[in-house]
């Protein structure tokens, strides 16, 4: 009789527990977090630089050790065992606890920074004071709540980025993409702006500028104080201003045409960066229903309209104050906006009307009419901008979209709504690139003939809630505005059915691949 | 408007229903004793391993059926009353039909082993099997799987995800030896072993031994070895699930006998999918085709006939796919375990031993016949075209990269493959 080897597993069961390495790693990571929490409750640490280093190293080290425990001893391949058994990743008890804790953190961060120790008129205390040494080393200034947040954000992307690369070590697309978001977060979002702040003096001052943060994600980029600062900062400032305009009007359209919006959303963007790394364990929680898709279309495009109106109002207001100061007059600017929107809507209806669903037509024409009407009201009355005060629009947008949606809900609710709720339902940048991706881009996800077995892995692990298999099982290419090109559907597919591709053309070959190879010679199936 | 009843809501029956709805306004009823809604049978393993939940393996949202006016009926058909054209359910209910499609699938093979019906012994095919497996594998530490095919290797992966040690009995001298050629079979065997599966070749089951409660406690091999275990997975293939038709008017062999139009011997009664058996396969393949893809094609075909365009089942170039733990497998055309007399083969294997490509071509006219590929994804459309058009092997090798379907930035093995193959084909080709 064969002897039973009991040394590996004494008790079997669904894979939902963590192993010893992971338990130790959790302890280390939590101890780092504890230091920050203690600091937040005003435990006054001596040698703040040392304690901050210990805290951040423990958090990062804990995450990396946890990854080793999770993936180190396993062969390379898909690692989704137990995802729906673990309470953290299946909206169970720990999922809710994590969601509540993160939401609470965001509320304090955005609306009650004094609780973190921010004192604009005096010395920092609490957890913000703990970050003072690092902030002084980089920018020369004391820390703010945004510096604390930026540092933790960067540490999260780096440490969870390593975890993600470990998990997908067999997949070079995933490794490169993750390295890219780690690089852009650390360099462009964190270090460069801080160093730029060093250049500021009494006679020279640049606004805080994360160069990869493009309007309208960076909705405040063209506000008066920033534009004034850039204009008065000589060629460098002017260069930044021009770069800001070119980013959305030239660079984004070209790259989106060639590669789809993934060049930004899953390779560069900071929101995407956090979602793809720290948020990866929650990707399966996105809602795949057609109802959610409909909600998404109306919500995200409403945000686009909101940000366009708000920015137009804000810019036209300050252009109007002082005709001498700015090269552009208010009238010219408003006409320019109208012309640009007319051209875009016109192109859409001329070249892609067959692809527009009924609600897209209603939405596009309806919203276009609203924008024209608002600008028209301004022209006919001449003074009060749009029915609403520009400042009211600006502060409402900042509160509702900039803080509540992107931060509190978008990130705080990762364990409940999935990791891309902001990107999917709220991000105007994603929506604008999405429209282009849907209608004028070479990017598509190709389906491999008849090989799909409708297993559902692709849809389940799509963080944007796209029902990928609905296309794959019909042999259709996936050309969807919301796809951020993370590549995970292709990775988890057990039959090699999905491939992210930049094809030869931006039109027909994406929408209907020629007679679908389904293997059935008896009849031609074309749906 | 006629009433079309479909027994079975698997891929074959559902595909037929969808296509009939596309083509007509007929009343359609899908009958199942298994689950209310269609689910992907091939995804059962992922539910057990926690990759997905039941809601994720349903290919259509629940509102799809009402929206497309496809009625769903839960129940077990016990008899077909052919002369009155009605179904009689186990519950005693009756349902009249105008056309009937029998798409009731398969059940795991049991070859009369002693102890095959003990508690803790089962196959894996249905949703109920999955639930039973969940129950049967609570707090156990050792399992034996009998039968080296696709379901067996899936079951091994499932059990290992729950830290249950697996002994895997395979009758042949390599994994899936009846289907895979030697090199490919060895590649897969190595990979299965690397996951710490105790893989035993040329080992057959003699009997399953119960404990005092009638639950499996061990198995005995034909060589007399006893292996203790608390679970036995029977995965030695499947056979048509047609017991309820025995003694009825519909002709049976192993499955429901059909002609090339998927018609049975009774007018207005058709059969498709796993349970259908051709008198003579329309393209000369095996008379029973029990894979997802052919079930789908038969569903598409029978829908045409029922809706007025009589259409013969004419599957094109054979293809199939699977995944063995971490290694994906695709096949196009028919690669025989032993090459036929007219066939020559080319084989490339990556140094890591986890990727390979086999091309089969005709020695005489040098046309490309078939391919097996492991660890690399190939483009179905391109392979289908090459095989269907009898493209010359030299041309296939020259254009091999057109078939690459691996994700971007993956290691490109094609230059190495081309170089090796080009040196191996006859210069005159």
B324 φ/ψ angles, rounded to the nearest 5 degrees: -105, 100
Return the pLDDT at A16. Answer: 79
Q: Which residues of A touch B225 (CB under 8 A)?
A: 2
Domain contains A207:
no
Q: Which residues of B touch A523 (CB under 8 A)?
A: 300-301, 304, 311
Distance CA A114, CA A121 (A): 11
Return the pLDDT at A319. Answer: 82
Residue B253, domain CATH: 3.50.50.60
Return the pLDDT at A314. Answer: 87
Are B68 and B136 contained in the same domain? Answer: no
Q: Which of B306, B332, B355 is the last residue of a domain?
A: B306
Are A45 and A146 contained in the same domain? Answer: yes
Percentage of chain B beyond pLDDT 90 is 97
Return the pLDDT at A392. Answer: 86
Domain contains A98:
no
**3 state DSSP class of A446:** strand
pLDDT in tens, A171-192: 999 999 999 999 999 999 999 9
pLDDT above 60: residue B211: yes
Q: Is the CB of residue B137 less than 8 Å away from at least one CB of chain A?
A: yes
Domain contains B220:
yes
Range of the structural domain that residue A175 is part of = 13-74+112-199
Percentage of chain B beyond pLDDT 70 is 99
Distance CA B53, CA A14 (A): 13
Q: Check B317 against A519: CB less than 8 A apart.
A: yes
Q: Which of B217, B236, B255 is the last residue of a domain?
A: B236
Q: Which residues of A touch B11 (CB under 8 A)?
A: 454
The residue-averaged pLDDT of B4-21 equals 97
Domain contains B112:
no
Return the pLDDT at A62. Answer: 98
Q: What angle do CA A196, A197, A199 make, to 5 degrees?
A: 70
Per-residue confidence band for A513, with pLDDT thresholds at 50, 70 and 90: low
Are B248 and B336 contained in the same domain? Answer: no
Domain contains B405:
yes
Are A334 and A422 contained in the same domain? Answer: yes
Are A458 and A420 contained in the same domain? Answer: no
pLDDT above 90: residue B323: yes
Q: Is the CB of residue A94 less than 8 Å away from at least one CB of chain B?
A: no
Q: Which of A146, A180, A199 is the last residue of a domain?
A: A199
CB contact at 8 A, A256 and A441: yes
Are A347 and A414 contained in the same domain? Answer: yes
User: 97-136 in B: which are within 8 Å (CB) of A?
Assistant: none
pLDDT in tens, B149-194: 899 999 999 999 999 999 999 999 999 999 999 999 999 999 999 9
Q: Is the CB of residue B162 less than 8 Å away from at least one CB of chain A?
A: yes
The total number of structural domains that make up chain B: 3
CB contact at 8 A, B199 and B205: no
Report the mean per-residue pLDDT for chain B. Answer: 96
**DSSP H helical segments within B216-331, as ranges?**
292-306
Domain contains A526:
no
Among A477, A468, A472, A479, smallest CA distance to A513 is for: A477
Distance CA B187, CA B202 (A): 17
Distance CA A350, CA B15 (A): 37
Domain contains A271:
no
Are A353 and A454 contained in the same domain? Answer: no
Return the pLDDT at A7. Answer: 39
Q: Check B315 against A83: CB less than 8 A apart.
A: no
Sign of the C-alpha dihedral, residues A173, A179, A182, A188?
negative
Domain contains B113:
no
Q: Is the CB of residue B142 less than 8 Å away from at least one CB of chain A?
A: yes
The residue-averaged pLDDT of A273-291 equals 97
For residues B48 and A197, the model is more confident at: B48
Least confident residue range of A56-70, A385-399, A422-436, B78-92: A385-399
Q: Is the CB of residue B157 less than 8 Å away from at least one CB of chain A?
A: no
CB contact at 8 A, B216 and B208: yes
**3 state DSSP class of A87:** coil
Q: Which residues of B touch A449 (CB under 8 A)?
A: 319, 379-381, 384
Return the pLDDT at B169. Answer: 97
pLDDT above 90: residue B426: no
Domain contains B345:
yes
Distance CA A33, CA A28 (A): 9
- Whole-Å CA distances, B427 to A210, B339, B370, B397, B423: 61, 21, 21, 13, 8
Domain contains A231:
no
Q: Check A75 against B142: CB less than 8 A apart.
A: no
pLDDT in tens, A123-169: 899 999 999 999 999 998 899 999 999 999 999 999 999 999 999 99
Distance CA A248, CA A263 (A): 14
Mutate to test the interface with B, among A472, A495, A500, A524 (most CBs of B within 10 A): A495
pLDDT above 60: residue A9: no
Q: Which of B142, B194, B381 sits opposite A449 (nearest CB)?
A: B381
Per-residue confidence band for A380, with pLDDT thresholds at 50, 70 and 90: low
pLDDT above 60: residue A5: no
Domain contains B314:
no
Q: What angle do CA B296, B302, B304 make, to 5 degrees?
A: 110
pLDDT above 90: residue A355: no
Return the pLDDT at A521. Answer: 74
Return the pLDDT at A1. Answer: 38
Return the pLDDT at A14. Answer: 77
Q: Check A520 against B315: CB less than 8 A apart.
A: yes
pLDDT above 50: residue A8: no
**Residues near A34 by Cβ (< 8 Å), separated by ≥ 6?**
none
Are B133 and B159 contained in the same domain? Answer: yes
The total number of structural domains that make up chain A: 3
User: 404-423 in B: which are within 8 Å (CB) of A?
Assistant: 405-411
pLDDT in tens, A286-316: 999 999 999 999 999 999 999 998 998 888 8
Domain contains B352:
yes
Return the pLDDT at A242. Answer: 93
Per-residue confidence band for A514, with pLDDT thresholds at 50, 70 and 90: low
pLDDT in tens, A62-76: 999 999 999 999 999
ipTM for this model: 0.95
pLDDT above 70: residue A470: yes
pLDDT above 70: residue B236: yes
Q: Is the CB of residue B310 less than 8 Å away from at least one CB of chain A?
A: no
Q: Which of A5, A491, A496 sits opposite B165 (nearest CB)?
A: A5
Domain contains B369:
yes
Are A311 and A179 contained in the same domain? Answer: no
Q: Which residues of B touch A459 (CB under 8 A)?
A: 56
Are A126 and A54 contained in the same domain? Answer: yes
B423 φ/ψ angles, rounded to the nearest 5 degrees: -80, -10
Mutate to test the interface with B, among A4, A178, A453, A475 (most CBs of B within 10 A): A453
Q: Is the CB of residue A2 less than 8 Å away from at least one CB of chain B?
A: yes
Return the pLDDT at A63. Answer: 98
Q: Is the CB of residue A523 less than 8 Å away from at least one CB of chain B?
A: yes
Return the pLDDT at A323. Answer: 64
Range of the structural domain that residue B251 is part of = 3-107+239-306
Least confident residue range of A223-237, A476-490, B176-190, B257-271: A223-237
């Amino acid at each position: 009789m064969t002897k039973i080897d009991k040394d590996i597993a004494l008790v079997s069961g669904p894979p939902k527990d963590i192993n010893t390495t992971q338990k130790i790693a959790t302890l280390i990571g939590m101890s780092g977090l504890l230091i920050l929490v203690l600091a937040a409750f005003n435990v006054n640490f001596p040698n703040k630089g040392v304690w901050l280093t210990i805290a951040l190293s423990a958090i990062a080290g804990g995450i990396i050790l946890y990854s080793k425990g999770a993936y180190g001893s396993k062969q390379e391949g898909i690692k989704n065992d137990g995802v729906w058994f673990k309470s953290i990743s299946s909206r169970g008890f720990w999922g809710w606890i994590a969601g509540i804790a993160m939401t609470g953190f965001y509320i304090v961060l955005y609306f009650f920074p004094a609780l973190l120790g921010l004192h604009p008129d005096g010395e920092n205390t609490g957890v913000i004071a703990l970050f003072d040494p690092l902030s002084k080393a980089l920018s020369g200034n004391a820390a703010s709540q945004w510096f604390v947040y930026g540092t933790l954000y960067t540490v999260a992307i780096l440490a969870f980025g390593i975890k993600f690369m470990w998990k997908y070590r067999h997949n070079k697309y995933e490794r490169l993409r993750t390295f890219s978001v780690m690089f852009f977060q650390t360099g462009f979002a964190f270090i460069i702006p801080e160093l730029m702040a060093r250049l500021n003096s009494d006679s020279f001052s640049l606004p805080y500028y994360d160069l990869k943060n493009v309007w309208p994600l960076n909705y405040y980029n063209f506000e008066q104080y920033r534009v004034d600062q850039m204009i008065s900062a000589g060629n460098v400032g002017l260069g930044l201003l021009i770069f800001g305009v070119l980013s959305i009007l030239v660079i984004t359209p070209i790259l989106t045409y060639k590669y789809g919006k993934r060049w930004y959303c899953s390779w560069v963007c900071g929101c995407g960066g956090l979602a793809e790394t720290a948020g990866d364990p929650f990707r399966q929680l996105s809602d795949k229903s057609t109802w959610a898709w409909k909600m998404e279309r109306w919500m995200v495009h409403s945000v686009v309209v909101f940000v366009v109106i708000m920015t137009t109002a804000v810019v036209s207001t300050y252009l109007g104050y002082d005709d001498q100061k700015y090269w552009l007059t208010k009238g010219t600017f408003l006409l320019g906006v109208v012309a640009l929107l007319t051209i875009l809507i016109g192109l859409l209806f001329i070249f892609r009307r067959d692809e527009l669903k009924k609600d897209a037509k209603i939405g596009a024409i309806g919203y276009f009419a609203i924008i024209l009407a608002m600008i028209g009201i301004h022209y006919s009355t001449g003074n009060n901008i749009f029915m609403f005060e520009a400042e009211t629009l600006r502060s409402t947008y900042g509160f509702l979209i900039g803080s509540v949606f992107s931060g509190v809900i978008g990130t705080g609710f990762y364990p409940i709504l999935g990791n891309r709720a902001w990107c999917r339902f709220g991000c105007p940048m994603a929506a604008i690139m999405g429209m282009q991706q849907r209608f004028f881009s070479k990017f598509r996800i190709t389906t491999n003939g008849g090989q799909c077995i409708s297993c559902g892995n692709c849809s389940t692990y799509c963080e944007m809630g796209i029902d990928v298999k609905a296309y794959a099982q019909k042999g259709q290419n996936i050309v969807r505005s919301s796809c951020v090109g993370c590549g995970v559907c292709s990775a988890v597919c057990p039959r090699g059915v999905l491939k992210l591709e930049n094809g030869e053309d931006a039109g027909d070959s994406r929408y209907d691949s020629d007679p679908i190879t389904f293997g059935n010679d008896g009849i031609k199936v074309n749906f | 408007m006629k009433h079309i009843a479909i027994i079975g809501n698997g891929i074959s029956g559902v595909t037929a229903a969808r296509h009939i709805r596309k083509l007509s306004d007929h009343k359609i009823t899908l009958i199942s004793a298994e689950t209310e809604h269609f689910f992907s049978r091939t995804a059962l393993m992922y539910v057990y391993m926690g990759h997905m939940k039941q809601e994720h393996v349903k290919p259509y949202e629940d509102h799809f059926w009402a929206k497309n006016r496809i009625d769903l009926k839960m129940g077990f058909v016990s008899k077909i009353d052919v002369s009155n054209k009605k179904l009689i359910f186990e519950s005693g209910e009756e349902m009249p039909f105008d056309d009937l499609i029998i798409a009731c699938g398969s059940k795991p093979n049991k070859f009369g082993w002693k102890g095959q019906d003990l508690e803790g012994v089962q196959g894996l095919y249905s949703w109920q099997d999955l639930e039973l497996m969940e129950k049967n594998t609570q707090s156990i530490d050792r399992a034996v799987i009998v039968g080296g095919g696709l379901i067996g290797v899936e079951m091994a992966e499932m059990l290992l995800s729950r830290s249950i040690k697996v002994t895997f009995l395979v009758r042949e001298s390599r994994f899936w030896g009846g289907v895979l050629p030697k090199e490919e079979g060895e590649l897969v065997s190595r990979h299965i072993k690397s996951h710490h599966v105790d893989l035993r070749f040329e080992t057959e089951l003699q009997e399953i031994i119960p404990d005092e409660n009638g639950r499996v406690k061990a198995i005995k091999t034909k060589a007399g070895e006893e292996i203790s275990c608390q679970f036995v997975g029977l995965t030695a293939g499947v056979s048509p699930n047609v017991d309820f038709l025995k003694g009825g008017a519909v002709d049976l062999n192993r499955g429901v006998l059909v002609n090339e139009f998927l018609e049975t011997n009774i007018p207005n009664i058709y059969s498709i999918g796993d349970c259908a058996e051709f008198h003579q396969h329309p393209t000369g393949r095996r008379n029973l085709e029990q894979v997802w893809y052919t079930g789908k094609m038969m569903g598409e075909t029978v829908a045409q006939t029922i809706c007025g365009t009589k259409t013969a089942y004419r599957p094109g170039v054979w293809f199939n796919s699977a995944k063995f733990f971490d290694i994906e497998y695709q096949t196009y055309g028919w690669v025989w375990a032993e090459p036929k007399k007219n066939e020559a083969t080319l084989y490339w294997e990556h140094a890591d031993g986890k990727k390979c490509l086999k091309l089969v071509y005709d020695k005489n006219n040098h046309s490309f016949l078939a391919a097996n590929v492991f660890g690399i994804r190939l483009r179905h459309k391109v392979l289908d075209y090459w095989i269907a058009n009898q493209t010359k092997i030299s041309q296939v090798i020259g254009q091999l990269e057109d078939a690459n379907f691996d994700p971007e930035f993956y290691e490109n093995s094609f230059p190495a493959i081309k170089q090796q193959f080009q040196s191996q084909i006859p210069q005159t080709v």
